[in-house]
């Protein structure tokens, strides 16, 4: 018998092409990656029915910033349960507190340690897998 295991899905949202390439390269071995250069494009993809197991997003982006993106996710019954990891250069505690109050699951500062990023992504994905298998 052949058993096919579905890779978990990760949506990466960042306006920087090099950052998208770096993150995709790091994670594509273990996860199916969809990357978008704007929050607007990411929301469109989500509205079209793509449901990732994790969203990694930047905050400082044109058109729609990460704060508004996260608020939009949390206001949607269909999307509110998707874990969110923010990867950003925000330096103030007030910004990070605002993000946690919006409902993010984790925060990593840029520049970041690739091993730490991979471990945190794995941890959030495993948390989702455990929730799904328990229910």
**Number of domains the chain is built from:** 1
* Mean confidence (pLDDT) of the chain: 91
Q: Name the least confident of 52-61, 113-122, 123-132.
A: 123-132
| pLDDT confidence of residue 133 | 45
Asked if pLDDT for residue 135 goes beyond 50, the answer is no
What values do phi and psi take at 111, rounded to 5?
Answer: -70, 155
pLDDT (tens digit, 9 = 90+) per residue, 91-113? 789 999 999 999 999 999 999 99
Q: Is residue 103 part of a domain?
A: yes
Distance in angstroms (rounded) separating the CA atoms of residues 26 and 33: 10
**Domain for residue 134, yes or no?**
no
Query: 135 in a domain, yes or no?
Result: no
For residues 133 and 66, which has the higher predicted lDDT (pLDDT)? 66
In a domain, 17, yes or no: yes
**Which residues are within 8 A (CB) of 79 and not within 5 positions of it... i.e. 6 or more apart?**
46, 51, 72, 73
pLDDT computed for residue 19 by the predictor:
96
110 falls within a domain? yes
Could you list the residue range(s) of the whole structural domain that residue 55 is in? 8-129
Alpha-carbon 69 to chain mean position: 11
Residue 90 maps to a domain: yes
DSSP symbols for 37-105? SSHHHHHHHHHTT---SEEEE-S--SSS-HHHHHHHHHT-TTTTTS-EEEEE----HHHHHHHHHHT-S
pLDDT tens track for 56-82: 999 999 999 999 999 999 999 999 999
Domain CATH for 104: 3.40.50.2300
Is the Cβ–Cβ distance between 90 and 67 less than 8 Å? no
């Amino acid at each position: 018998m052949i058993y096919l295991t579905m890779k978990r899905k990760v949506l990466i949202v960042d306006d920087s092409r090099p950052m998208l390439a770096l993150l995709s390269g790091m994670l594509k071995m273990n996860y199916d990656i969809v990357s978008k250069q704007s929050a607007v494009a990411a929301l469109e993809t989500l509205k079209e029915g793509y449901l990732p197991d994790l969203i990694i997003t930047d905050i400082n982006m044109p058109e729609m910033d990460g704060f508004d993106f996260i608020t939009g996710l949390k206001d949607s019954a269909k999307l509110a349960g998707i874990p969110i990891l923010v990867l950003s250069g925000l330096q103030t505690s007030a910004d990070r507190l605002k993000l946690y109050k919006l409902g993010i699951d984790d925060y990593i500062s840029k520049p970041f340690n690739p091993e730490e990023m991979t471990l945190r992504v794995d941890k959030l994905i495993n948390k989702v897998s455990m929730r799904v298998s328990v229910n």
